[in-house]
């Protein structure tokens, strides 16, 4: 069995997971769907789809948020957990759901053209008006 590199869960524990593969550094998404889904900027890491193992899934519900992707959330507490592009071999994980220490760092911002007007991005990291090249 592969070594567990990270664990995480939703707010209430009805969805829990383990990650056995590498995690990509964090990308902050400012698109309208993420802002609405998370209530603010969404911070995601990513791993191989086969490297994510659910250890508790009773609360997991998937929502098809676009023709290209779906979002996984806990139907008991409402926590946003996953973003998965159709046919992708990777899955994005909401970084805040990972148990610390994560060893991750935020590396860029995407969809900044869609960001809301109530905040500014001032951390000096790369800002991309469209989607991440990863």
Q: Which domains does the chain have, with CATH numbers?
A: 6-115 (2.170.150.70)
Using alpha carbons only, give the angle 59, 54, 131 rounded to the nearest 5 degrees. 90
Neighbours of 45 (CB within 10 A): 23
Residue from 18, 17, 16, 15 nearest 5 by CA: 18
Asked if the bond preceding 101 is cis, omega within 30° of 0, the reply is: yes
Length reported for the chain: 134
pLDDT at 1: 61
pLDDT at 131: 58
Mean pLDDT per block of 10 residues along the chain (134 residues) reads 90 98 97 94 98 98 95 98 97 98 97 95 95 46
- Asked if 81 contacts 9 with a C-beta cutoff of 8 angstroms, the reply is no
pLDDT at 132: 45
Strand 126-128 to 80-85 pairing = unpaired
- Asked if 80 contacts 37 with a C-beta cutoff of 8 angstroms, the reply is yes
pLDDT at 130: 79
CA distance linking residue 34 with residue 5, whole number of Å: 26
Residue from 47, 40, 42 nearest 106 by CA: 42
pLDDT at 57: 98
CA distance linking residue 131 with residue 134, whole number of Å: 9
């Amino acid at each position: 069995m592969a070594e567990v590199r990270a664990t995480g869960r939703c707010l209430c524990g009805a969805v829990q997971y383990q990650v056995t593969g590498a995690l990509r550094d964090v990308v902050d998404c400012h698109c309208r769907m993420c802002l609405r889904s998370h209530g603010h900027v969404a911070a995601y890491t990513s791993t191989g789809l086969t490297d994510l193992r659910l250890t508790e899934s009773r609360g997991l519900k998937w929502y098809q948020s676009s023709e290209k992707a779906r979002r996984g959330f806990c139907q008991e507490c409402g926590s946003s957990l996953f973003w998965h592009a159709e046919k992708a071999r990777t899955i994005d994980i909401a970084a805040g759901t990972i148990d610390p220490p994560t060893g991750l760092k935020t590396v860029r911002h995407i969809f900044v053209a869609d960001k809301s007007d109530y905040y500014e991005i001032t951390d000096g990291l790369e800002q991309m008006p469209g989607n991440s090249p990863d």
